[in-house]
Chain A
Amino acid sequence: MSTILQGGSDLGTRASSKPVLSIKNLRVSYTTGAGTVNAVDGVSLDIGAGEIFGLAGESGCGKSTIANAVMRLLQSPAKITDGTIELNQRNVLTLSDEELRRTRWREMSMVFQSAMNAMNPVMTIGEQMMDVFTTHEKMPKKEARERAAHLLTLVDITPDRLKAYPHQLSGGMRQRVVIAIALALNPSLLIMDEPTTALDVVVQRDIMAQIKELQQSLGFSVLFITHDISLMVELSHRMAVMYAGRLVEVAPSNVLLDDPLHPYTTALMNAFPPLSGPRTELLGLPDAPPTSAGRPSGCSFHPRCPMAMDACKIQDPVLRPVAEHHDAACLLVPEFVIPSERPAK
């Protein structure tokens, strides 16, 4: 199984061909009585065709907000204040309601963080699979049922479970059904927001191995969000580490694992094997991540950073290349000049 899970050998070059998803300078804020939180504060990232892209970071750093922004599922009090999100070269943020409806699930689908409650308790799983086909492909019921049955077999569930209701399935099965629904229309992008958090470790591994297999045969791209860094490193080709609404390091997963450059990434990597429960303690970092109280001056990470210097309190590091296919936002790490761009002597 672990051979299936071996990803990350590819040095992130896939992203350089036309990206499936391209987020540029995305900003999302939540305005509540307590004030405004910039939950996503200028995030840019590209995901290439067939690439599995991991997004890691502490609870509350803004991962789900990015995922929901891409699906355009954010609702008040969330507001996208800036940026573009291009899916297959089309800006998702400017689609009309009807265009958006057609794009959802056909081009991008999502497995939710709370996938346990993602299915309607009063409809059979068959009905909930079939309506994807009947809506998007105007398929007759009979054919939709056959397609749904086929989908179930993809995730190793016997088609007779089509008649089952969600509560009749185990957690792992329910999650596999949700994944099957997500793959129904062969989308180019699958977003998985902590898809296995509620499951036990064995089931979790099983399911991820299955995703990897399906990903290889169907070729979709994945935006994968999880707290489980070890799982993410195994599964994804490239990873981004997020802190307080910003990406602080982006690199191929194995590079990030062996040679993290940002002190926050190092802390995350040191905290693995699997993170679960209260993140801050396991990270061995003092204090909590910045919240609505506002962002610290200079580098947001400086109050907790073991390497912080005086300059960190003043200067805000930007995310920039620090090695080939490797970006980081830390004053300690010198900028990397791509060889071809080096000024000729």
Chain B
Amino acid sequence: MRFLLRRLGFYLIAFWACITLNFFLPRLMPGDPVSRMFAQVQNQMRPDQIAALRQLFGLTNKPLWQQYLDYIGNIFRGDMGISLSRFPTPVSSVISSEIGWTLLLGATSLIIAVVLGNLLGILAAWRRGKFLDSVFPPLLVFVGSFPYFWLAMAALYLFGIVLGWFPLNHAFTDGVEPSFSFSYVADVANHLVLPALTIVLVSIGGWMLGMRNTMIATTAEDYITMARAKGLRSGRIMFHYAARNAMLPSITSFGMSLGFVVGGALLTETVFAYPGIGYQLLNSVQGLDYPLTQGIFLTITTAVLAANFLVDIIYVRLDPRVRVS
């Protein structure tokens, strides 16, 4: 428990540092970047909106500490300003309209890759040198070494165009009203298959190899020998003794990846015209949409920190040794 509180404290400090940086960066920019940014949308803006943006970028006459407090207050109210490229939509609604798709795609493919990859790694290490171990790692590394773009196009061509099994683009069929009906969920799932599949294909090899190698190192441990000497069944030794220990490093990488899911999958979104944060981020950078860029970065940071905290909680459950240290 004390371990978790310490970690939480650390993450809160990191979060604060990140917001503070976000606050100061535009104020450190030379000249009046805001005017330049506003130029393209100035004539569409109402004066009060301009005032709000100026405030966001520190171009008011208020003292710095006052601006800082206002800024933090806004952040906690979820107010990250107004997007310039999609004026006058607030940044928070741009993000929230896209983040669901990003989470759906990212989390689905990450979880499938992690679970399947680790399982394959465990089995390959347990039957070292046998079929699974000699065929899968090189195959998956081979697939993983393709440029993602190429692989995604190939999948799209084969399964979308030639075989026609899956839709070519978007997250659901145009014109369908989002609802909690079976047909809508099935439609979304159907649109999800190809994008998720391609992500799984390129990432699963890494998970499998990582797990296989730690697992092999673990099977040389004395407690595995003792477990064998105890006459336990192979499955119990494999999962309860070997895999439970070998899994620990994987959990850490999982946490990292989980956090970065929020950043979106730009290439996937591009190839499959799938909605998501990645594309928004690209747009915002190209369109000098600072409020949106900052908002997205802030969201990613928050997600990374939160995911790491989640991993800490899982880790404490899995490895009793961290509870004392």
Contact = CB atoms under 8 A, between A and B. Distances in A.
Interface of A: 71, 73, 100-106, 109-110, 112, 114, 117-124, 131-132, 135-136, 165, 167-168, 178, 181
A118 B231 contact: no
A179 B225 CA distance: 15
Interface in B290-323: 318-321
B233 interface: yes
Nearest to B248: A122
Contacts, number: 79
Given A119-B226, A165-B320, 4 more contacts: A112-B222, A117-B223, A123-B244, A135-B230
A135 B233 contact: yes
Range of interface residues on B (Cβ < 8 Å):
20 to 34
B208 to A, nearest CB: 22
A114 B231 contact: no
A259 to B, nearest CB: 37
B228 interface: yes
Given A121-B320, A121-B321, A122-B319, A131 B223 contact: no
A71 B318 CA distance: 31
B210 to A, nearest CB: 19
8 contacts: A104-B230, A105-B230, A120-B244, A121-B245, A121-B320, A122-B244, A131-B240, A135-B231
Contact of B321 (A100, A101, A167): A167
B311 to A, nearest CB: 16
A202 to B, nearest CB: 25
**Chain B residues touching A, majority SS:** helix
Nearest to B321: A167
A120 B223 CA distance: 5
A344 B223 CA distance: 58
A168 B322 CA distance: 12
Contacts of B37: none
B73 to A, nearest CB: 44
A135 B232 contact: yes
Given A117-B221, A117-B222, A121-B320, A110 B231 contact: no
B231 A102 contact: yes
Contact of B324 (A103, A106, A135, A167): A167
Interface centre among B221, B226, B232, B241 (most CB of A within 10 A): B226
State the 3 A-B residue pairs at the shortest beta-carbon distance, nearest first.
A104-B231, A117-B222, A165-B320
A103 B231 CA distance: 7
Interface in B227-254: 227-233, 236, 240-241, 244-245
A302 to B, nearest CB: 36
Given A104-B230, A106-B231, A73 B225 contact: yes
Contact of A120 (B231, B233, B241): B241
Given A131-B236, A167-B320, A167-B321, A101 B226 contact: no
